[in-house]
Structure 1
């Protein structure tokens, strides 16, 4: 959910005005932002401390390219981007729907019909990526947004071309341990079949309320992903053999996204028809909440350096900054 801006968050990024924070991570911060005309977007920026690193800039560019590949049907549509800016940024549509982990927290384990429709739609998203030789590599509940029209896959920060090892080192596991493929956990090549493994883990979470290899320290999770059998407790009986095949340790025995989609759902009905009432109500609430949010900026801590003053345009006086810094 949106949170207030901090005192040192930028007042403008390209043509966009940040109005709230949506989240922050190792690569950058995501803002709820608006244009002068009122269009609302999710605006991802790179942290200034890494913006001068060519490797991080390349990764940000590839993330932008992958978001364009998946498109607005299966992802947050790209509105604009400037990967060459001093602080690179990417503006996408603001998706009106909760992340899957929040949906499960709200509703509990989702009905089988919901899981099947969700899985089939995500097969379409991954199939579109794989057709362009791109693998996501970090498919997990927080990276799937559930809307009334279908799920949208986001956060392509570690996506890359299949077979490309330039941005990672062989022998180093990159991703989220609870939803990694065994080959990814071992630091080996993560192919399209690895995304299928992660998708199955995500669907186990949606259907049963827990990831297939449990919780715990990263090292324990990486071991269980590679050597333990998945815990399918709570998964509907009809889904168990389908998901178990996707969670096979051998990537060559996993189904393709096209085959998996056919096993999950016949494509009939609107996606919203398969969603629980509580989830539909939450989606509707978010659609109105985004316009009710009042922009707020937290004041600088008393002992913080006056970073706003040093970053401000020369025409702004220090006195004016002191009176507007908490606005």
Structure 2
């Protein structure tokens, strides 16, 4: 018969082994899920870096692709978006040789709205987000860092153009740091529809004093009225686009660029998220999908899945939920030249 001491040693060993097993299982559970990636080759015009795509949206059995529309060419300024039908994208997912057909829409009247923004003393930098509501299309305008306001615009979708409403120019004041400074290169990068309201999400959501989403109630005749800001759980890095998935649930692109100009987006060294963007002595670019849930008048978030290493340094700017995955697109920046716009269909891998 074993002695009491040998029994106790055996019990300790068993408990220790069980704890190690639990720790190992917990460690595996903490590992971020990976995205399964399927690239979708774009036609030359759509892959051109001149588009600098900044948003995606699925509506009316079409995928809408928003060009940043910076209007830099004085001889031929052009605001535009494109659409690809979802049946054509379904075919592309199974037939990689299929060449995607597309339609182009001119944003008629965008130049006049840019002039109004300039006259107000702001510096227009481009369109950063889009929301399609039946025939109405809403856009978020980003301005230069020094400009205190961003803007919402609205247009009517027609056969070959989106006719911009010249009287719809809604200013959005940028939230500032405690010392009154503005966050570098930050605007309202995402628009979402929650019930009947349009909500704008600021790119930066790490203000110690509180972070907010900005809803607008959509009224008749296409007008909107600002509502009371609602809270967002503090969130590291950037939000660069968002897409609705289920009632009160959304998926967002959560992106970090390692450049020195973006130091405002670096989490504190004591923040666990630092390990994601600084695994060693230097920062790295990083991108993941997060889930936003709206409850208790606040948007809460949790990690969903991260991009594979070879896609981490793409500047992902657009996301649209489709079936059990998402279309995502970068603006133009890739790990190396020649730059191009890249469309992916991604799905979180099941564990």
Higher strand fraction (1 or 2): 2
**Given the two structures, how large is their TM-score scaled by the length of structure 2?**
0.25
**Given the two structures, how large is their TM-score scaled by the length of structure 1?**
0.26
Higher helix fraction (1 or 2): 1
